[in-house]
Amino acid sequence: MRIMFVGDSMTIGSAGDLTWRYRMWQHLNTTYGGPYKIVGPRRELYDPAADAPVSYAYGDPDFPERARAHLAGWGEGWLHMAPLVGDAVRAGRADTLLVSLGLIDLGFYTNAEQTAENVRRFVAEARAANPRVRAVLMPVIRNVRANNDPPFAAECERFNELLGKTVADLDTAGSPLLLASRPDSWDIDRDTYDGTHPNAAGEHLLAAAFADAMHQAWEVGGEYEPAA
């Protein structure tokens, strides 16, 4: 199994973060019995001081370089990743994509329908690179803006409806797609440090959503249990 994490600021993380990618790496190490590799063209965290993805200061310095790979970017969404995913899948020979995107698209670039079209483009590009690639897609998780901006919140809900329909429409036996379940208990005051980006509790919830989807549908690993 060759896993690639794809996402926006919630996935790349900021200097000093552990990231949900780290939590997923811990989970796979303890529950997955087969060989796996984390792949992707990037290793960096976002550095707020530089306003650029130039930091390598992960919260755990023992997080090995080989496990830090990803295709994630601060301020990047489906719009940005669709043109990049094909080359990244080819280069890393990725066969499993864990994808958390959409909030930045809806907030700044595209409406729900346009964002859903970019999901389709993303899947097509990934499959062109590997016809048997599989993916778990995370719905948009409400943030502080959604709590304070009803039209934006409605757009997020509309996109999540379209995402579910898109996953059902594009899912195939040879290249399966899963829709992860949004964490029911997600609370922006408890699970984020700024109303959007996950703190330790939020990192565990995101990792658990992906891990449990993979375990239930594909028997990959076990049910998620937070590591100490």
- pLDDT tens, residue by residue, 182-205: 998 999 999 999 999 999 999 999
pLDDT for 228: 64
pLDDT at residue number 33: 87
Q: What does the pLDDT look like over 2-24, one tens digit per residue?
A: 999 999 999 999 999 999 999 99
pLDDT at 226: 87
> H/E element holding 124?
helix 112-129
CATH among 3.20.10.10, 3.40.50.1110, 3.40.228.10, 3.40.50.300 for 2-218: 3.40.50.1110
Sign of the dihedral through C-alpha 48, 122, 42, 189: positive
pLDDT value of residue 144: 96
d(CA 113, CA 107): 13
Q: From residue 117, give the alpha-carbon distance in Å to each of 89, 110, 182.
A: 20, 10, 21
Residues listed for the chain? 228
Region for residue 13 given its phi and psi (left: phi exceeds 0; alpha: psi -120 to 50; beta: otherwise): left
Q: What is the mean pLDDT of residues 52-77?
A: 97
Amino acid identity, residue 195? G
Instruction: Taking residues 44-51, report their average pLDDT.
Output: 97
pLDDT confidence bin for 227, thresholds 50/70/90: confident
Predicted local distance difference test score (pLDDT) of residue 26 = 96
Euclidean distance between the first and final Cα of the chain, in Å?
Answer: 25
For residue 204, CA distances in Å to 27, 103, 183, 199 come to 10, 19, 10, 9
Q: What is the pLDDT of residues 154-177, one digit of tens each?
A: 999 999 999 999 999 999 999 999
For residue 130, the model assigns a pLDDT of: 98
